[in-house]
Amino acid sequence: MRILKSLLVTSFMLGMSNASLAEEDWEGPFSDGSTAKTFGFQEEEKALFTGKVVDVMCELSGNCADNCGNGNRLIGIVREADNKLILPIKNSQFSFNGPMEDLLPYCGMRVDVDGILVGDAEVYGSKFYMVQKIRESGAAEFSKANLWTKAWAKRNEEAAKKKGPWFRKDPRVLKQIEATGYFGLGHDADKNYAAENQ
Amino acid sequence: MFERLGAFLAVVSMAMFAQPAFANTSAKLIEIKGEVIDTWCYFSGVMGGEDAVIGSAHHTCALWCAAGGIPVGVLTEEGEVFMVLKYQGEDVLEKTDTLMEVQSDIITAKGMHYVRDGVNYIVVENVIANDGIQVLNHEDYGSVPPNSFPKNYQ
Protein backbone atom coordinates (compact mmCIF):
# COMPACT_ATOMS: atom_id res chain seq x y z
CA MET A 1 0.00 0.00 0.00
CA ARG A 2 2.82 2.37 0.94
CA ILE A 3 4.66 1.65 -2.32
CA LEU A 4 1.48 2.28 -4.31
CA LYS A 5 0.96 5.57 -2.50
CA SER A 6 4.54 6.64 -3.20
CA LEU A 7 4.16 5.82 -6.86
CA LEU A 8 0.95 7.84 -7.09
CA VAL A 9 2.51 10.88 -5.48
CA THR A 10 5.66 10.64 -7.56
CA SER A 11 3.85 10.23 -10.85
CA PHE A 12 1.45 13.08 -10.16
CA MET A 13 3.78 15.66 -8.70
CA LEU A 14 6.68 15.10 -11.00
CA GLY A 15 4.74 14.16 -14.09
CA MET A 16 7.13 11.35 -14.92
CA SER A 17 6.78 9.82 -18.35
CA ASN A 18 5.68 6.25 -18.52
CA ALA A 19 8.69 4.68 -20.16
CA SER A 20 6.96 1.33 -20.59
CA LEU A 21 4.66 2.69 -23.29
CA ALA A 22 5.82 2.60 -26.89
CA GLU A 23 5.89 5.89 -28.79
CA GLU A 24 3.07 4.77 -31.08
CA ASP A 25 0.78 4.42 -28.07
CA TRP A 26 0.69 8.21 -27.92
CA GLU A 27 -0.17 8.73 -31.57
CA GLY A 28 -3.55 9.95 -32.72
CA PRO A 29 -5.04 11.76 -35.71
CA PHE A 30 -3.54 15.10 -34.59
CA SER A 31 -0.15 13.88 -33.34
CA ASP A 32 1.95 14.84 -36.36
CA GLY A 33 4.50 17.49 -35.43
CA SER A 34 3.52 17.52 -31.77
CA THR A 35 6.30 17.88 -29.22
CA ALA A 36 3.95 17.51 -26.25
CA LYS A 37 5.13 15.68 -23.15
CA THR A 38 3.46 12.38 -22.44
CA PHE A 39 2.76 10.85 -19.08
CA GLY A 40 1.01 7.55 -19.59
CA PHE A 41 -2.43 8.89 -18.68
CA GLN A 42 -5.54 7.01 -19.68
CA GLU A 43 -5.88 6.65 -23.49
CA GLU A 44 -3.45 9.53 -23.92
CA GLU A 45 -2.47 10.88 -27.33
CA LYS A 46 -0.48 13.88 -28.49
CA ALA A 47 -2.49 16.55 -30.28
CA LEU A 48 -1.24 19.61 -32.15
CA PHE A 49 -3.96 21.56 -33.91
CA THR A 50 -5.30 24.96 -34.94
CA GLY A 51 -8.61 26.33 -33.75
CA LYS A 52 -10.57 29.25 -32.37
CA VAL A 53 -10.72 29.98 -28.64
CA VAL A 54 -14.38 30.26 -27.59
CA ASP A 55 -16.68 30.82 -24.63
CA VAL A 56 -18.27 27.36 -24.36
CA MET A 57 -21.58 28.69 -23.04
CA CYS A 58 -21.79 31.09 -25.96
CA GLU A 59 -20.89 28.37 -28.43
CA LEU A 60 -23.62 26.05 -27.12
CA SER A 61 -26.44 28.39 -26.30
CA GLY A 62 -25.84 31.80 -27.83
CA ASN A 63 -25.57 33.29 -24.32
CA CYS A 64 -22.34 35.18 -24.81
CA ALA A 65 -20.24 37.29 -22.47
CA ASP A 66 -17.55 39.86 -23.17
CA ASN A 67 -14.05 38.44 -23.41
CA CYS A 68 -15.27 34.84 -23.00
CA GLY A 69 -16.58 35.69 -19.53
CA ASN A 70 -13.30 37.15 -18.22
CA GLY A 71 -12.24 33.87 -16.67
CA ASN A 72 -15.57 32.93 -15.15
CA ARG A 73 -16.80 30.56 -17.86
CA LEU A 74 -15.47 27.39 -19.43
CA ILE A 75 -13.29 28.06 -22.43
CA GLY A 76 -13.00 25.70 -25.37
CA ILE A 77 -11.26 25.48 -28.71
CA VAL A 78 -13.20 24.81 -31.90
CA ARG A 79 -10.76 22.73 -33.92
CA GLU A 80 -10.48 24.02 -37.46
CA ALA A 81 -9.91 20.65 -39.11
CA ASP A 82 -13.23 19.10 -38.06
CA ASN A 83 -15.21 21.88 -36.28
CA LYS A 84 -15.09 19.83 -33.10
CA LEU A 85 -15.38 21.65 -29.77
CA ILE A 86 -12.36 20.53 -27.75
CA LEU A 87 -12.58 21.10 -24.00
CA PRO A 88 -9.26 21.88 -22.31
CA ILE A 89 -9.43 20.93 -18.64
CA LYS A 90 -5.75 21.19 -17.63
CA ASN A 91 -2.69 23.32 -18.33
CA SER A 92 0.88 22.05 -18.29
CA GLN A 93 1.57 22.64 -14.60
CA PHE A 94 1.55 19.79 -12.11
CA SER A 95 -0.16 21.28 -9.14
CA PHE A 96 -3.88 20.98 -9.86
CA ASN A 97 -4.08 23.89 -12.31
CA GLY A 98 -6.70 24.56 -14.95
CA PRO A 99 -6.18 26.14 -18.39
CA MET A 100 -8.10 29.40 -17.96
CA GLU A 101 -5.20 31.80 -17.53
CA ASP A 102 -3.44 30.39 -20.58
CA LEU A 103 -6.46 30.49 -22.90
CA LEU A 104 -8.24 33.68 -21.91
CA PRO A 105 -5.74 36.07 -23.56
CA TYR A 106 -6.62 34.39 -26.86
CA CYS A 107 -10.43 34.64 -26.58
CA GLY A 108 -11.91 34.80 -30.09
CA MET A 109 -8.52 34.29 -31.71
CA ARG A 110 -7.16 31.62 -34.00
CA VAL A 111 -4.49 29.68 -32.12
CA ASP A 112 -2.14 26.74 -32.50
CA VAL A 113 -2.06 24.50 -29.44
CA ASP A 114 0.06 21.52 -28.53
CA GLY A 115 -0.74 19.09 -25.75
CA ILE A 116 -2.35 15.76 -25.06
CA LEU A 117 -5.86 14.40 -25.28
CA VAL A 118 -6.78 12.06 -22.43
CA GLY A 119 -9.63 9.76 -21.50
CA ASP A 120 -11.47 6.94 -23.19
CA ALA A 121 -13.74 8.55 -25.77
CA GLU A 122 -15.78 5.37 -26.09
CA VAL A 123 -16.66 5.55 -22.41
CA TYR A 124 -16.76 9.32 -21.82
CA GLY A 125 -18.05 10.43 -25.23
CA SER A 126 -14.93 12.42 -26.00
CA LYS A 127 -11.35 12.96 -24.99
CA PHE A 128 -10.34 16.03 -22.98
CA TYR A 129 -7.36 18.28 -23.53
CA MET A 130 -4.29 19.19 -21.53
CA VAL A 131 -2.92 22.30 -23.23
CA GLN A 132 0.85 22.46 -22.87
CA LYS A 133 1.76 25.17 -25.40
CA ILE A 134 -0.17 27.88 -27.18
CA ARG A 135 0.49 30.65 -29.71
CA GLU A 136 -1.52 32.92 -31.96
CA SER A 137 -1.78 30.87 -35.11
CA GLY A 138 1.27 31.25 -37.27
CA ALA A 139 3.38 33.06 -34.66
CA ALA A 140 7.01 32.01 -34.49
CA GLU A 141 7.13 30.86 -30.88
CA PHE A 142 4.84 28.92 -28.60
CA SER A 143 4.27 30.02 -25.01
CA LYS A 144 4.18 27.40 -22.28
CA ALA A 145 0.72 27.02 -20.80
CA ASN A 146 1.84 27.54 -17.23
CA LEU A 147 0.36 30.85 -16.12
CA TRP A 148 -2.08 29.68 -13.46
CA THR A 149 0.10 29.71 -10.36
CA LYS A 150 1.43 33.21 -10.96
CA ALA A 151 -2.09 34.48 -11.53
CA TRP A 152 -3.17 32.82 -8.26
CA ALA A 153 -0.32 34.52 -6.41
CA LYS A 154 -1.44 37.86 -7.78
CA ARG A 155 -5.00 37.24 -6.58
CA ASN A 156 -3.86 35.96 -3.18
CA GLU A 157 -0.93 38.15 -2.21
CA GLU A 158 -1.04 37.38 1.52
CA ALA A 159 -1.38 33.64 1.10
CA ALA A 160 1.34 33.60 -1.54
CA LYS A 161 3.86 34.96 0.98
CA LYS A 162 3.51 31.84 3.12
CA LYS A 163 5.62 28.74 2.57
CA GLY A 164 4.45 25.78 0.56
CA PRO A 165 2.55 25.12 -2.66
CA TRP A 166 -0.53 27.20 -3.45
CA PHE A 167 -3.04 24.45 -2.79
CA ARG A 168 -1.92 24.07 0.83
CA LYS A 169 -2.48 27.75 1.59
CA ASP A 170 -5.34 28.72 -0.67
CA PRO A 171 -7.93 30.55 1.48
CA ARG A 172 -10.91 28.88 -0.19
CA VAL A 173 -9.47 25.39 0.22
CA LEU A 174 -8.54 26.06 3.84
CA LYS A 175 -12.03 27.39 4.53
CA GLN A 176 -13.63 24.16 3.33
CA ILE A 177 -11.19 21.93 5.21
CA GLU A 178 -11.77 23.98 8.34
CA ALA A 179 -15.52 23.48 7.92
CA THR A 180 -15.73 19.78 7.05
CA GLY A 181 -12.27 18.23 7.30
CA TYR A 182 -10.03 16.50 4.78
CA PHE A 183 -12.58 13.83 3.85
CA GLY A 184 -15.49 16.27 3.90
CA LEU A 185 -17.17 14.23 6.64
CA GLY A 186 -16.34 16.33 9.66
CA HIS A 187 -13.29 16.43 11.90
CA ASP A 188 -14.20 13.26 13.82
CA ALA A 189 -13.79 11.25 10.60
CA ASP A 190 -10.32 12.74 10.14
CA LYS A 191 -9.39 11.93 13.74
CA ASN A 192 -10.62 8.35 13.44
CA TYR A 193 -8.72 7.86 10.19
CA ALA A 194 -5.53 9.27 11.68
CA ALA A 195 -5.88 7.12 14.78
CA GLU A 196 -6.23 3.97 12.69
CA ASN A 197 -3.63 4.77 10.04
CA GLN A 198 -0.87 6.88 11.60
CA MET B 1 -43.72 41.66 -57.46
CA PHE B 2 -40.76 39.56 -58.51
CA GLU B 3 -38.45 42.23 -57.11
CA ARG B 4 -40.20 42.02 -53.72
CA LEU B 5 -40.12 38.21 -53.79
CA GLY B 6 -36.43 38.34 -54.69
CA ALA B 7 -35.68 40.70 -51.83
CA PHE B 8 -37.67 38.50 -49.42
CA LEU B 9 -35.81 35.37 -50.52
CA ALA B 10 -32.50 37.19 -50.22
CA VAL B 11 -33.30 38.20 -46.62
CA VAL B 12 -34.45 34.68 -45.73
CA SER B 13 -31.36 33.06 -47.24
CA MET B 14 -29.06 35.56 -45.51
CA ALA B 15 -30.75 34.82 -42.22
CA MET B 16 -30.32 31.09 -42.77
CA PHE B 17 -26.63 31.36 -43.56
CA ALA B 18 -26.07 33.82 -40.72
CA GLN B 19 -27.20 31.28 -38.12
CA PRO B 20 -24.49 30.88 -35.47
CA ALA B 21 -22.90 27.56 -34.64
CA PHE B 22 -25.11 27.04 -31.57
CA ALA B 23 -28.14 26.56 -33.82
CA ASN B 24 -27.01 22.96 -34.23
CA THR B 25 -26.93 22.36 -30.49
CA SER B 26 -30.31 21.55 -29.02
CA ALA B 27 -30.99 22.11 -25.35
CA LYS B 28 -33.49 20.46 -23.06
CA LEU B 29 -34.42 20.69 -19.42
CA ILE B 30 -33.32 17.61 -17.50
CA GLU B 31 -33.00 16.37 -13.94
CA ILE B 32 -29.86 14.54 -12.90
CA LYS B 33 -28.55 13.00 -9.73
CA GLY B 34 -24.85 12.51 -9.23
CA GLU B 35 -21.61 13.36 -7.50
CA VAL B 36 -19.85 16.66 -8.05
CA ILE B 37 -16.40 15.59 -9.24
CA ASP B 38 -12.99 16.83 -10.31
CA THR B 39 -12.93 16.02 -14.02
CA TRP B 40 -9.17 15.98 -14.63
CA CYS B 41 -8.42 13.20 -12.17
CA TYR B 42 -11.50 11.28 -13.31
CA PHE B 43 -10.83 11.40 -17.06
CA SER B 44 -7.03 11.20 -17.05
CA GLY B 45 -6.59 8.37 -14.58
CA VAL B 46 -3.68 10.30 -13.05
CA MET B 47 -4.58 9.15 -9.55
CA GLY B 48 -5.72 5.65 -10.40
CA GLY B 49 -9.07 4.06 -11.23
CA GLU B 50 -12.43 5.78 -11.31
CA ASP B 51 -13.47 4.35 -7.94
CA ALA B 52 -10.55 6.05 -6.20
CA VAL B 53 -11.02 9.56 -7.59
CA ILE B 54 -14.48 10.22 -6.23
CA GLY B 55 -16.04 10.40 -2.77
CA SER B 56 -14.42 11.02 0.57
CA ALA B 57 -11.04 9.57 -0.47
CA HIS B 58 -10.60 12.24 -3.11
CA HIS B 59 -12.38 15.11 -1.37
CA THR B 60 -9.38 17.32 -0.60
CA CYS B 61 -7.94 16.79 -4.07
CA ALA B 62 -11.33 17.72 -5.54
CA LEU B 63 -11.13 20.97 -3.54
CA TRP B 64 -7.64 21.63 -4.87
CA CYS B 65 -8.71 21.04 -8.44
CA ALA B 66 -11.89 23.12 -8.18
CA ALA B 67 -9.90 25.99 -6.64
CA GLY B 68 -7.32 25.47 -9.38
CA GLY B 69 -9.89 26.10 -12.08
CA ILE B 70 -10.21 22.56 -13.36
CA PRO B 71 -13.76 22.21 -14.70
CA VAL B 72 -16.23 20.55 -12.36
CA GLY B 73 -18.58 17.78 -13.48
CA VAL B 74 -21.53 15.82 -12.17
CA LEU B 75 -21.06 12.04 -12.39
CA THR B 76 -24.35 10.17 -12.50
CA GLU B 77 -25.00 6.62 -11.33
CA GLU B 78 -25.12 5.61 -14.98
CA GLY B 79 -21.53 6.81 -15.41
CA GLU B 80 -22.29 9.88 -17.50
CA VAL B 81 -20.40 13.08 -16.71
CA PHE B 82 -22.07 16.47 -17.17
CA MET B 83 -19.64 19.37 -17.38
CA VAL B 84 -21.00 22.27 -15.30
CA LEU B 85 -21.37 25.53 -17.27
CA LYS B 86 -23.15 27.47 -14.55
CA TYR B 87 -24.29 26.59 -11.05
CA GLN B 88 -27.60 27.83 -9.65
CA GLY B 89 -27.62 30.66 -12.15
CA GLU B 90 -24.25 31.96 -11.03
CA ASP B 91 -22.05 32.93 -13.92
CA VAL B 92 -18.86 32.59 -11.92
CA LEU B 93 -17.31 29.16 -11.72
CA GLU B 94 -13.69 29.38 -10.74
CA LYS B 95 -13.29 32.12 -8.22
CA THR B 96 -16.13 31.73 -5.73
CA ASP B 97 -16.95 29.32 -2.93
CA THR B 98 -20.14 28.05 -4.54
CA LEU B 99 -18.72 24.99 -6.23
CA MET B 100 -16.15 24.41 -3.49
CA GLU B 101 -18.92 23.84 -0.97
CA VAL B 102 -20.47 20.97 -2.93
CA GLN B 103 -17.37 19.05 -3.98
CA SER B 104 -17.91 15.28 -3.63
CA ASP B 105 -21.58 15.79 -2.65
CA ILE B 106 -24.39 13.85 -4.29
CA ILE B 107 -26.78 16.42 -5.71
CA THR B 108 -30.08 16.24 -7.53
CA ALA B 109 -30.38 19.12 -9.93
CA LYS B 110 -32.47 20.48 -12.75
CA GLY B 111 -30.91 22.34 -15.60
CA MET B 112 -30.51 22.88 -19.29
CA HIS B 113 -28.61 20.09 -20.99
CA TYR B 114 -26.46 20.56 -24.08
CA VAL B 115 -24.52 17.95 -26.00
CA ARG B 116 -21.73 18.74 -28.41
CA ASP B 117 -19.22 16.34 -29.91
CA GLY B 118 -20.02 13.67 -27.37
CA VAL B 119 -19.64 15.89 -24.29
CA ASN B 120 -22.57 16.55 -21.94
CA TYR B 121 -22.84 20.05 -20.53
CA ILE B 122 -25.34 21.36 -17.99
CA VAL B 123 -26.43 24.76 -16.75
CA VAL B 124 -27.50 23.85 -13.22
CA GLU B 125 -30.51 26.04 -12.56
CA ASN B 126 -31.91 24.49 -9.41
CA VAL B 127 -30.39 22.10 -6.90
CA ILE B 128 -33.37 20.15 -5.60
CA ALA B 129 -31.46 18.08 -3.06
CA ASN B 130 -27.97 17.77 -1.66
CA ASP B 131 -27.34 14.46 0.10
CA GLY B 132 -23.78 15.36 1.03
CA ILE B 133 -20.88 12.96 0.59
CA GLN B 134 -22.24 9.44 0.21
CA VAL B 135 -19.26 7.56 -1.22
CA LEU B 136 -17.18 6.75 1.86
CA ASN B 137 -14.28 5.25 -0.02
CA HIS B 138 -11.51 6.65 2.20
CA GLU B 139 -12.07 3.49 4.23
CA ASP B 140 -10.78 1.51 1.22
CA TYR B 141 -8.35 3.87 -0.49
CA GLY B 142 -7.22 6.22 2.26
CA SER B 143 -6.65 9.71 0.93
CA VAL B 144 -6.10 10.02 -2.82
CA PRO B 145 -3.46 11.27 -3.43
CA PRO B 146 -1.90 10.21 -0.13
CA ASN B 147 -0.43 13.66 0.47
CA SER B 148 -3.90 15.17 0.58
CA PHE B 149 -4.15 14.09 4.23
CA PRO B 150 -1.56 15.51 6.67
CA LYS B 151 1.26 13.12 7.58
CA ASN B 152 1.07 13.95 11.25
CA TYR B 153 -2.57 14.85 11.76
CA GLN B 154 -3.23 16.51 15.13
In whole angstroms, what is the distance from residue A182 CA to residue A151 CA? 26
Residues 56-85 of B with CB under 8 A from A: 56-57, 59-61, 63-65, 67-71, 79, 81, 83, 85
**Residue B148: CA atoms inside 13 Å, Cβ hemisphere, count?**
31
| Interface predicted TM-score (ipTM) | 0.89
Mean pLDDT of chain B: 86
In whole angstroms, what is the distance from residue A168 CA to residue B148 CA? 9
Interface contact A173-B65, CB threshold 8 A = no
Interface contact B27-A184, CB threshold 8 A = no
Q: Which of A101, A29, A15, A198 is nearest to B152 (CA)?
A: A198
Residues of A in contact with B97 (CB under 8 A): 172, 175-176
Q: For chain B, give every domain's residue range.
A: 27-148
CATH architecture of B27-148: Beta Barrel (2.40)
Residues of B in contact with A177 (CB under 8 A): 60, 63
Chain A CB within 8 Å of residue B135 CB: no
Q: What tens-digit pLDDT sequence spans chain A (198 residues)?
A: 444 444 444 444 434 344 344 555 678 999 999 999 999 999 999 999 999 999 999 999 999 999 999 999 999 999 999 999 999 999 999 999 999 999 999 999 999 999 999 999 999 999 999 999 999 999 999 999 999 999 999 999 999 999 999 999 999 999 999 999 999 999 999 999 999 998
Interface contact B100-A172, CB threshold 8 A = yes
Interface contact B151-A198, CB threshold 8 A = yes
Chain A CB within 8 Å of residue B141 CB: no
> Three-state DSSP class for A161?
helix
